[in-house]
Structure 1
Amino acid sequence: MNLYHLRYFSVLAKTENYTQAANLLNITQPSLSNAIHSLEKEVQVKLFAKKGRRVQLTDPGHQFAKDIDQVLMQLDHSVAALQATQETTSLIRVAALRTLSSRWLPQMVQHFLTSHPETASQFKFSNDTGMSPDIVESLRQENYDVAFCSKVDDAPDIQYTPIAEQDLVVITPLDHPLAKKKSLNLNETLPYPQITFSPRSGLYPIIHHLFAEIGHQPQSAYAIEEDQAVAGMVANNFGIAVLPAMDSLKGMPVKIIPLTFPKWHRLLYMVTLKQHYQNPSAQAFIDFVQAQA
């Protein structure tokens, strides 16, 4: 059975459009049509049926597409594993939230390299947007081997392993009326405009749930995606904010006030793609982080 024909079939099964599939495969439409006809002749089953200008998978075609995708994925993983055995140095591609990139991740990587000199590992750190949904999506596209961020969903293709937690605090400008407080109940923040997290942020559901516990939501002056940007807005007197107790806050002109009620923690996770082939060094690093968690 021709491997190229199987790959052509897989793409056509996803698009159900000969023109679109041929463009994605960078082949001519007649070449694609001939390949599919040859495959159908070989398996002696009709895999596609015409539907106007498009085609549609038959019931046997649907099952065949599901099976072939699994076979091709396993084949690609096997080839990647074979190629990795020829490498003297293994690359570990990592993405992380900026709040973890300043201290936690460098310390973890240094600890791993010190304790595993035999791996001859090289790390490549991502310059992604720093948003958890973007990081997880890029992981799904296999741009990274491992990521460290907030939990985005409960999809079955992703493995989330808790690796750290952060307390939530309130930050205010230095001259704010709340800046004299040594601790705060969340209710005390309600009279003041706040810099909140936009729905794309992994912190949004955490903060939203926290305010729901006291039966009110804050006055949102601005909605920002990233925690560092939220802190910057507070430092420049745009409002107050509830956010994780990050190391970077200590060097900013803000007052950091512990939150006494409701008590809440932000969990951070190591995130891996279950079906992604991990080269030996990447797997060793993942196992090392899991052992430290």
Structure 2
Amino acid sequence: MSKRKRFGEILVEAGALDQETLEKALIQQKTTGKRLGQVLEESGIIAERDIAVVVARQFGFKTVSNISKHPFPDETLAVVTSETALKKLIFPLKVEEKTLSLAMVNPLDIPTLDDISFRTGLRIMPYVTTPSEIIDAVNRHYLKSDLPAAKEWWTVLVVDDQELVRSAVAAALKKEGYVVLQATNGADGLKAAMQHSPHLIISDTVMPRMDGLEMFRALQSQIATRAIPVIALSSRAAAEEEARLLEMGYFDFVAKPINPVRLVARAKRALRAIYGHSDPRGGGQ
């Protein structure tokens, strides 16, 4: 049996990048501890679709695309919840002859595969796709949010002292059509929240002048801002930190380094949970 080729080797053979670029990415991978695919995607070297194709080729899986455009019966969607689909980045495609065809970003997520198989009694057939494909499909088929114009309703305030993080988050949100405000510290973030009443705030917890925790407490103390959901960003990825922030009243927690696709999904979830699908412009805050 031939030796399985490495992820980077397949990328080079596929013409997605050259050997010199791969070697530089491998060095960055060692220093950051990130997955090679994540390093390449964040650097803009290859797109998420390229990664999906390479993963599928590397491990012998098929790919799937344009998921959101196809109809799915309720009994198929019921195999997993919308929350699980977003958290695990999976989407049920078809149940046939005791086999579940499952779209996945990571087809080697054995614990998730085993859990679904044990719970349903179905054999799982993974198909590789991208995070964007999963999120679009969940939004349309589970959450019934296929309303492109609705994106223009929302204003999101991004507060982070790191320009690269702030810019990446803002770019991902703007790509979805949201109006994005930015602030570099908690003091400016609090001022912007008071002036503009954003529908959602995404904020780092550690910043100069006024940190994210102080800003959050100040927001909670004001009648005009206490109802605004806040998603915390933190480089402290421990479960204890997440639990602490959620107990404080944060709507959600996202660990750094930030995956823009996943963060946008969390933002959509927060807006939907707080405001539903109604245009908030007529309801006031």
Superposition TM-score, scaled by structure 2 size: 0.25
Higher helix proportion, which one?
2
Higher relative contact order (CA 8 A, sep 6+): 1
Superposition TM-score, scaled by structure 1 size: 0.25
Higher strand proportion, which one?
1
Structure with larger Rg: 1
